[in-house]
Structure 1
Amino acid sequence: MFKTIKSDLPASIVVFFVALPLCLGIALASGAPLFSGLIAGIIGGIVVGSLSGSKIGVSGPAAGLAAIVLSAIATLGSYENFLLAVVLGGIIQLLFGVIRLGIIGYYFPSSVIKGMLTGIGIIIILKQIPHFFGYDATIEGDFTFFEVDGGNTFSEILESFNHISLGPSIIGLISLAILILWDRVLTKKAKIFQLIQGPLVAVIAGIIFFVFTQSNESLGFRATQLVSVPVPEDIDSFFGQFTFPNFGVLGNPDIWIVAFTIALVASLETLLCVEATDKLDPEKNVTPTNRELLAQGTGNIISGMIGGLPITQVIVRSSANIQSGGKSKMSAIVHGFFLLISVMLIPTLLNKIPLAVLAAVLFIVGYKLAKPALFKKMFLLGWKQWIPFVTTVGGIVFIDLLKGLALGLAVGIVVILIKSFQNSHFLHIEDMSNGIHKIKMTLAEEVTFFNKGAILKELDSLPRNTHLELDVRKTRYLDNDIIEILEDFSFKARERSIDIRLISERGIVENPPSFIEFFRLRPKNA
């Protein structure tokens, strides 16, 4: 891991500055103590990062779980009761890993995964616009379209234009200029600009700008326009921020329901993020998914035991890691140590970072996830890729992450069914002389119950006095539902004077008396 430390260290700094406000904001959106988000970020970096088989994935508290956490805390009566559900959820995730459920993520179409990445990129940009202009009424961790304050993503953006703060807007524009200049020009000029990353320079510039303008009425910052990390007075007050689960409610069935919900949703989010980050990885590493579930389960057990939120692998931090040049899991681990050290030693300095600077950093991350060129590429691939892609993007942007994914997957399944319906057979009219229709139907290599409608429609449309040639030589799997359709059709064929010639690898059979008997005796390897 230390072989790539020159790339991993700068990347870990970027991930740290991206993760810090997200940890705090997701805790706020979850109705949990702010420190719980930081605990989850630290455990996600150090513990999960060490155990995971992913080289570039970063774990921490996830926005997709915020609504579940908020509801669960209210249902279970206290945060301590909820922590027990987190611990049990981690144990269930370990079980998922042991029974090898890590393959679930592979069953999501590529178009849906790309739609997820693009949708998250758009959401990141939209959610950061208010912060960029200094409008501080929105919540950083609120990644749903309809927000907890009653507004929505676009109403918050429009409202932010009516409350533009000069100081945040200026440093936001300066930071964005630094990031673009660093990415497009300076990194190509000298190695020093590759070692010292643009986001770090932007953050330093933001702190300097805050220090020199805090006494200026027009350029100054309100506390809500800055990072907000809890500041302990001494070591005792620092450790006093930790909370522990209440094992006395272990027999409460609601605890187990919440635990299973957390395990299921967190595992699904993690596996989809693994699939997405592996696609983004320039080196195309493949993450062992079952090992990832074991790592996530261990992280959730530890996080729950000391007062942290549930953990998943998260695409925002993972993509920031990839875009910043992270090469190994060391960047995720080091970012966890940065979080730990910063909340212990320099919380006051961190609280001088303007949110507008972090918004500029996330603008770049979001743009790289949702490049306009990707929309063009997906459109040119055809409607089978385009429709699931835009459905997933729209669902994530206008509803939320999990529902958007479910919607995209549902549309993807419908597309598969439509193509199965269309591709179940080939129909070719050979001759129509002497008033007798000669029709050849060749079945595909695999024909399942999905194809029932298409085949039944074609058979029912055959006119009287037809000679049907049914070719199954290429067919290696024929569902029993299709055999039953052919069996039923053979009776109708006699009434309609339709002759059937069945061509198989065993020869030609004229008007087979029983399709069921024929295919039952067919060789298994044919």
Structure 2
Amino acid sequence: MQRVSPVRTLRTYNLNLFRQDLPSGLSVFLVALPLCLGIALASGAPLFSGLVAGVIGGIVIGLLSGSEVSVSGPAAGLAVIVADAIAKVGAYDAFLTAVVLAGVMQFLLGLIKAGRFSSFFPDSVIKGMLVAIGIVIILKQIPHALGRDNDYEGEFEFQQLADGENTISEIYRAIETASTGAVVISLVSLIFLIGWGRIASRSTKTFFKNFPSALVVVFIGIGLNEFFRVSVPDWYMGTKAHQHMVQIPTIAPGQPIFSIFDFPDFSVLTNPKIYGIAATIALVASLETLLNLEASDRLDSAKRVSSTNQELIAQGIGNVLSGMVGGLPVTSVVVRTSANIYGGAKTRMSTVLHGLFLVTAVFLGGPILNLIPLSCLAAVLIMVGYKLASPAIFKKTYHDGWSQFLPFIITVLGIVFTDLLIGIALGTVIGILFVLYTNFQSTFSVFRDGRKVLIEFEKDLYFLSKPQLKEALGLLQPGDEVLIDGTKAPFIDHDIYNMLQDYRETARVQGIHYELRNVILSRRKRTRSRVVLDDRPV
């Protein structure tokens, strides 16, 4: 597996890669645009703050990232934390100081190599996270596909902040109030995307594989909606009653560019609350980033290995800059990353290009992009969600056994019906319990040949193995010749050792011949004296 290097990518970059990264960058841009605005709205922050964070996540973090395919931007998982933090400190410019501090903390986490902790999450949990996010994307986009936009784009929690509904009830409300125009646009877009994908998989022509189908869908959506405006006004989605469009804030004529930015108020550094908020943002953002990096490596067709520590450093720099110019906190985000990978991205340049497209949208393309109906973008996201939550993944994980399937399905259900971090925590706990259960199920073996019994330790014995070993000793019968062999157990817990010693008296009374071989208390203490120098045992 190839280790990712930002310097190597830029040094060896060529035009052939650009031809594949460009359409992917466009696809990610179209997905990221409404998400940046929606997350800013959900966070109670200025709309421009979401776009600023998206630009920095794309260009700055994209160039410095430890991954070739990960895409960063404002994250839905931080929306509640951000909204609560702004309320606590009383002003958005004060909150920006916490974002800057969080970036510094992330940078330091990268320097001390805290990225290694991502390896502690079970594989089944990472797989469950991807599938769950795919399901959540589909469920959250169904209302937008039906023309109901009461919930913000980019909110992925089950309980919705915007309108007090939840994911399921929102779909029910959307069906009740479905708009014909939105339904037509989303259905035509979905049919086109499915057809385009099938043609691309079967055709030998590179056009269908390289040209972004999401861009064509956007043109279809704009064209249909404009046709409705002229010919079927009741279906038009741009009226005050159906403001079902992308809404990029525009800069007023004569207004200086810097007037749209917010800047941190460092006078609040004397407020202890700022440091607590900063630590919370740093920890949650780092956790989401590390989880997404594990997931992106799984999806990456080139099977490259991302540098988690480099990613934390990149995220830290990105959050410092985002806070300095009024942006929301930034993390690596699964939705954008999966759209990037499924769009055919080969290198980090697709991420950078999506950031450049966001810059263009902010300063030049607002009036045009504000014509895009959300229902056609919902169709694009639904297709991304389906690829993440393919039924084949459920089937394969089920056949891997319950030790894999149970943590997987609990992670899926936890994320769908609560939020990302709670679902991950539930799945991880179940996964660890299964590891412990499996580990302590096979710590020793019992062999019986007539009256001869061998109890052989297979690995270290901790106190959790005590009930099983006690049960095995209870099955011994008078007249048995028992040998307990601890040769393969470098460590024997004190409770286990005492129980085996105490059983000598029980064996004598019951007429059992009882022998211990190489059963030594805490033998690991002696094995640790073996030192490794120059990668060779001494």
Within the candidate set 453, 457, 468, 2:482 is matched to 468
Within the candidate set 318, 325, 342, 1:299 is matched to 318
Q: TM-score, normalised by structure 1?
A: 0.92
* Contact 2:45–2:92 (Cα < 8 Å) also in 1: yes
Q: CA deviation at 1:460?
A: 4.9
SS of the equivalent of 1:106 reads helix
SS of the equivalent of 1:218 reads helix
* Contact 1:417–1:450 (Cα < 8 Å) also in 2: no
User: What letter matches 1:133 in structure 2?
Assistant: L
Q: Which residue pairs with 1:375 in the alignment?
A: 394
Within the candidate set 38, 41, 49, 1:28 is matched to 41
Residue 274 in structure 1 maps to residue 299 in structure 2: no
Within the candidate set 455, 476, 485, 1:441 is matched to 455
1:411-450 mapped onto 2 (5 Å cutoff): 411-432=430-451, 438-450=452-464
User: What letter matches 1:9 in structure 2?
Assistant: L
Within the candidate set 44, 60, 63, 2:73 is matched to 60
Q: CA deviation at 1:170?
A: 0.8
Q: Give the Cα–Cα distance (whole angstroms) in 2 for the partners of residues 500 and 75 of structure 1.
A: 69
Residue 164 in structure 1 maps to residue 182 in structure 2: no
Q: CA deviation at 1:439?
A: 2.6
Q: CA deviation at 1:521?
A: 7.1
User: What letter matches 2:388 in structure 1?
Assistant: L
Q: CA deviation at 1:234?
A: 3.3
SS of the equivalent of 2:235 reads coil
Q: Give the Cα–Cα distance (whole angstroms) in 2 for the partners of residues 109 and 523 of structure 1.
A: 28
Q: CA deviation at 1:290?
A: 0.4
Residue 201 in structure 1 maps to residue 201 in structure 2: no
Q: Which residue pairs with 1:435 in the alignment?
A: none
32-41 or 222-231, which deviates more: 222-231
Residue 19 in structure 1 maps to residue 32 in structure 2: yes
* Contact 1:44–1:311 (Cα < 8 Å) also in 2: yes
User: What letter matches 1:482 in structure 2?
Assistant: I
* Contact 1:135–1:163 (Cα < 8 Å) also in 2: yes
CA 301–495 in structure 1, closer or farther in 2 if over 3 Å, else same: farther
Q: CA deviation at 1:35?
A: 1.0
Q: CA deviation at 1:139?
A: 1.8
* Contact 2:490–2:523 (Cα < 8 Å) also in 1: no
Q: CA deviation at 1:209?
A: 1.9
Q: Which residue pairs with 1:310 in the alignment?
A: 329
Q: Give the Cα–Cα distance (whole angstroms) in 2 for the partners of residues 456 and 497 of structure 1.
A: 18
RMSD: 2.2
Within the candidate set 265, 270, 275, 1:251 is matched to 270
Q: Which residue pairs with 1:85 in the alignment?
A: 98
Q: CA deviation at 1:421?
A: 2.4
* Contact 2:69–2:296 (Cα < 8 Å) also in 1: yes
* Contact 2:491–2:522 (Cα < 8 Å) also in 1: no
329-338 or 213-222, which deviates more: 213-222
Q: Which residue pairs with 2:164 in the alignment?
A: 150
SS of the equivalent of 1:439 reads strand
Q: Give the Cα–Cα distance (whole angstroms) in 2 for the partners of residues 206 and 449 of structure 1.
A: 64
CA 47–75 in structure 1, closer or farther in 2 if over 3 Å, else same: same
SS of the equivalent of 1:185 reads helix
Q: Give the Cα–Cα distance (whole angstroms) in 1 for the partners of residues 100 and 186 of structure 2.
A: 40
* Contact 1:424–1:455 (Cα < 8 Å) also in 2: no
User: What letter matches 2:103 in structure 1?
Assistant: G
Q: Give the Cα–Cα distance (whole angstroms) in 2 for the partners of residues 48 and 455 of structure 1.
A: 54
Q: Give the Cα–Cα distance (whole angstroms) in 1 for the partners of residues 494 and 286 of structure 2.
A: 36
* Contact 1:54–1:286 (Cα < 8 Å) also in 2: yes
270-279 or 59-68, which deviates more: 59-68
Q: Give the Cα–Cα distance (whole angstroms) in 2 for the partners of residues 475 and 516 of structure 1.
A: 10
User: What letter matches 1:516 in structure 2?
Assistant: L
Q: Which residue pairs with 1:75 in the alignment?
A: 88
CA 49–484 in structure 1, closer or farther in 2 if over 3 Å, else same: farther
1:317-336 mapped onto 2 (5 Å cutoff): 317-336=336-355
* Contact 1:424–1:454 (Cα < 8 Å) also in 2: no
SS of the equivalent of 1:516 reads coil
Q: Which runs of 5+ in 2 are unaligned?
A: 1-9, 531-536
Residue 191 in structure 1 maps to residue 210 in structure 2: no
Q: Give the Cα–Cα distance (whole angstroms) in 1 for the partners of residues 99 and 474 of structure 2.
A: 57
Q: CA deviation at 1:67?
A: 1.4
SS of the equivalent of 1:468 reads strand
* Contact 1:132–1:359 (Cα < 8 Å) also in 2: yes
Residue 106 in structure 1 maps to residue 111 in structure 2: no
Q: Give the Cα–Cα distance (whole angstroms) in 2 for the partners of residues 316 and 258 of structure 1.
A: 25
User: What letter matches 2:229 in structure 1?
Assistant: Q
| 1:280-313 alpha-carbon deviations (Å, 9 max, x no partner) | 0010000011000000000000001111111111
Q: Which residue pairs with 1:359 in the alignment?
A: 378
Q: Which runs of 5+ in 1 are unaligned?
A: 433-437, 505-511
| 1:120-166 alpha-carbon deviations (Å, 9 max, x no partner) | 00000000000001112122122111112221111000111111111
Q: Which residue pairs with 1:219 in the alignment?
A: 235
SS of the equivalent of 1:151 reads coil
SS of the equivalent of 2:447 reads strand
User: What letter matches 2:33 in structure 1?
Assistant: L
Q: TM-score, normalised by structure 2?
A: 0.90
Q: Which residue pairs with 2:427 in the alignment?
A: 408
SS of the equivalent of 1:233 reads coil
User: What letter matches 1:217 in structure 2?
Assistant: P
Q: Which residue pairs with 1:507 in the alignment?
A: none
| 1:401-434 alpha-carbon deviations (Å, 9 max, x no partner) | 00000000011011112112211111223324xx
Q: CA deviation at 1:464?
A: 5.7
| 1:54-106 alpha-carbon deviations (Å, 9 max, x no partner) | 11110001111111112111122221121111111111111111111101111
Q: Give the Cα–Cα distance (whole angstroms) in 2 for the partners of residues 517 and 136 of structure 1.
A: 63
Q: Which residue pairs with 1:478 in the alignment?
A: 492
CA 84–156 in structure 1, closer or farther in 2 if over 3 Å, else same: same
17-26 or 420-429, which deviates more: 420-429
CA 33–485 in structure 1, closer or farther in 2 if over 3 Å, else same: farther
Q: Which residue pairs with 1:342 in the alignment?
A: 361
264-273 or 234-243, which deviates more: 234-243
Q: CA deviation at 1:213?
A: 2.1
Residue 283 in structure 1 maps to residue 302 in structure 2: yes
Q: Give the Cα–Cα distance (whole angstroms) in 2 for the partners of residues 422 and 517 of structure 1.
A: 21
SS of the equivalent of 1:426 reads strand
Q: Which residue pairs with 2:64 in the alignment?
A: 51
Within the candidate set 136, 146, 150, 2:149 is matched to 136
Q: Which residue pairs with 2:3 in the alignment?
A: none
SS of the equivalent of 1:502 reads strand
Q: CA deviation at 1:177?
A: 1.4
Q: Give the Cα–Cα distance (whole angstroms) in 2 for the partners of residues 518 and 60 of structure 1.
A: 51
CA 373–456 in structure 1, closer or farther in 2 if over 3 Å, else same: same
* Contact 1:43–1:303 (Cα < 8 Å) also in 2: yes
